[in-house]
Each structure stands twice: as structure tokens, then as C-alpha cells.
Amino acid sequence: MSAPNKSYDPVEVEALKPEEIERMRDEALAAFAAAGDLDALAHAKTAHTGGTSPLALANREIGALPPQAKAAAGKLVGQARGVVSKALATRQAELEAERDARVLVEEAVDVTLPYDRVPAGARHPLTTLMERVADVFVSMGYEVAEGPEVEAEWFNFDALNFVPDHPARQMQDTFFVQGTTPEGTATTGDESGVVLRTHTSPVQARTLIDREPPVYVVCPGRVYRTDELDATHTPVFHQIELLAVDEGLTMADLKGTLDHMVQALFGADMKTRLRPNFFPFTEPSAEMDMLCYVCRGESVGNPDRPCRTCGSEGWIELGGCGMVNPKVLIACGVDPEKYSGFAFGFGIERMLMFRHNVEDMRDMVEGDVRFTRPFGMEI
Ligand code: PHE
């Protein structure tokens, strides 16, 4: 280190000229004022108060001054540095206050929001619709009855008066469950005598075998047919079956029950109509239609008011029905001389489609909550 130089004139030291010190000070003040956030201020702080900042370097020059010049130069630089560090502290406090205010707004937490963000699913509309239909009958005194989905061919067909070569029994319509012969080899297809039920009607036979009339049951359930999945078919679908067996039941009771059901589900002015049809297990049999719940029949012969829901037919086909065939009663041990009964069955998918304008059945089976959620938590 060089010794103090007595002939050293402070005015000659460029960095210690009062205008220079003022400039350094003012530049620092300007930089702090210009710093828009705490990061920028940190940079300005290093640049203007750090070890290599102009004022720090100027301060270092003081040590080399002659003693008589040191005091004045020290005061000059010291004051400037004092002003600068005060301005820095003020700006720091300002920017911190701004940041705190912003964070309070931006990161505010609404403590009244529900804490459970796990999205709730919804019950499937097929389930809720099935329960809704079953409830209509439960409120009339019917009981809910169920049967197995893997069903004996006898219950699915024979007990219901399907002749042995009825086309519905063929493998292109019915899923046969592979079985094992007494010798232990696998049975091929239709030899097994076990099927996935193709309708809920076998529950009729099971109920009649299990219970003594009077019998009033509603049977919701899943059924299977060998259809490809497309917009209007699905190999797994749902039906609701109704069976009433009692003394003196007639077709008028069937009609009245159907009318009550559609009124309960679709409105008080609803009604049904029956068209002759054939089912092996009912005689006479009918196809049942309900009045179109959208146009209420008003689109018929009225080209100004076409109805997409019923194709301007005025009626929507719902399912099959009829008086229980005495052969079924006999097969299930019920005296047809004493008892008569009626039955009907229909598909829930179809009802969901026209009741809620679902256009593609695949939406019902894909399990996407975006389909089920809009139906809400109907219970
Ligand atoms: N089981 C019939 C079907 O699946 C419907 C039906 C039920 C018809 C009861 C008459 C009586 O198509």
C-alpha cells in the first residue's frame, strides 16, 4: 500500500469532486425510484451501494487523501451514502408494502368455499329411472322381485312357453353359458342349458313357483342379447317387468295399470293404447304404446307442427304386454281356472332415450361422468 501523499490535492481526484459525488448520489436515487419491484431494487442496490459501486470506490479514494483533505471528502461522500441508503430503505419499504398488498389480493383464500374438491359423481340415470318406475308400482302395493342374470334355459324359455325351435333360442340371439358335461368336457354353446337371460320374464316364472297368488311384483333387471353395440342397440340392457296374478284379473286391469304408470311418469293427461301382437307367454298379447309426451298426439295430420320425438305418429312404442298364458300358470303350478294375470315388460334404455333426448345408447354404457352428472343426484 502506498503511503499518504501530502502533496495530493483532493480537487485533483476526479472521483471525489463534489459534482461527481452528487451525480453518483442522484444516479443511485434515480435507479431506486425506477426500480418497479423488489428484484429490480436488489439489482440497483448492488450497483449503487455494493463494494464496486461508484460511491464505494470514491469512499476508498479517501484513504489516500492527505489528512487535511480527508474530513471534507469524508463528509461529502458520507452524506451522499447516507442519503442513498436512506432512499434505498424507503424504496424497499414501499415495494414490500406494494407486494404485500398485491399478494393479499392475488392469493386471497375464500375460507367459505367447500373444502372437498373431489368431484362427486352421480348415480346413473338408468338406475334412477328404474327405481322411479319401480316406485310407481311399489306405491300401488307391488313388491320388487329379482332373479339371476345367469339363468336356466328352462326359466328363460321353456316355462314361458317358447317352443323348442323358437328362433329366440338360437345362438345368434342368445348368449349361452358354456358348461361342463358329467364327463368333465366343456359343452358347446346351446347344449349347456344355461343362458344369460334375454328378458326379465323368467322372473315371472320364478315368482309364481315361489309364491302363492295373489302375486303383484315388479322386476327391474339387466338382460343380454347378442346385439352389437351401436347408437340404438346394446348387448346389455335393462328391463322392467310387471306381473299380477289374482282372481278375476282382466285386460281392463292391465290397461288401467299401464295408464296409471305413464301418468305417474309423464303427466296426468297421458294414456296408452294396445296393438295386437304375439308373445308365447301371454295370450292375448299386445304391443303397448304411450301417447307422445312431447306433442301429446297433436302432430298427427298437422304438418305445421311436426314432432321429432314420435316422428309425428302421436304414439311412442314402449314394450310388450298381455294376459299371462294359462300354459305358463300351469308350468308354474298355478290353477288357471282360479287365477288369471297380466304382465308387461319394457326397456329402460329406450325410455331414457326418449324421456331425456339421449340420442346414442353408447353414451349410457361408457361410464363418462360428463353424461351422468347433468342428471343430478336424483334419488
Ligand atoms: N319379455 C318381452 C320382451 O322382452 C316383453 C314382455 C313382457 C311381453 C311381459 C309381454 C309380457 O320383449
Name the helix (H) or strand (E) containing 33.
Answer: helix 18-34
Q: Is 319 in the pocket of ligand 1 (CB under 6 A)?
A: yes
User: Which residue owns the Cα nearest ligand 1 atom 10?
Assistant: 321
C-alpha cell of 152? 336356466
Contact by Cβ (8 Å): 39, 94: no
- Using CB atoms within 10 A of its CB, is residue 352 exposed (0-12), middle (13-18) or buried (19+)? buried
Biggest CA–CA distance in the chain, Å, is: 142
The residues, ordered by sequence, that sit 6+ positions from 236 with a Cβ below 8 Å of its Cβ are 222, 223, 224, 365
pLDDT score recorded for residue 190: 64
Closest CA to 177 of 206, 147, 198, 201: 198
| Phi, psi (rounded to 5 degrees) for 2 | -80, 150
Cell numbers linked to 219: 322386476
Using one digit for the tens of pLDDT, what is the confidence trace for 275-318? 999 999 999 999 999 999 889 999 999 999 999 888 899 999 99
In this prediction, residue 12 has a pLDDT band, given cuts at 50, 70 and 90, of low
Is the CB of residue 199 below 6 angstroms from any atom belonging to ligand 1?
yes
- The atom number, within ligand 1, closest to the CA of 223 reads 4
CATH fold of 125-375 reads BirA Bifunctional Protein; domain 2 (3.30.930)
pLDDT score for 286:
98
Amino acid at 75: K
Whole-structure pTM over 0.75, yes or no?
no
Q: Is the CB of 343 under 6 A from ligand 1?
A: yes
Question: How does the average pLDDT of the chain come out, rounded?
Answer: 89
160 lines ligand 1 (CB under 6 A): no
Ligand 1 geometric centre to CA of 188 (Å)? 28
Q: How confident is the model at residue 1 (pLDDT cuts 50, 70, 90)?
A: very low
Residue-range domain boundaries for the chain: 10-106, 125-375
Query: Which residue in the block uniquely carries the three cell numbers 316355462?
Result: 159
Residue to mutate (ligand 1; options 272, 278, 281; most atoms within 8 A of CB) = 281
Place of cell 284379473: 249
200-213 average pLDDT score: 96
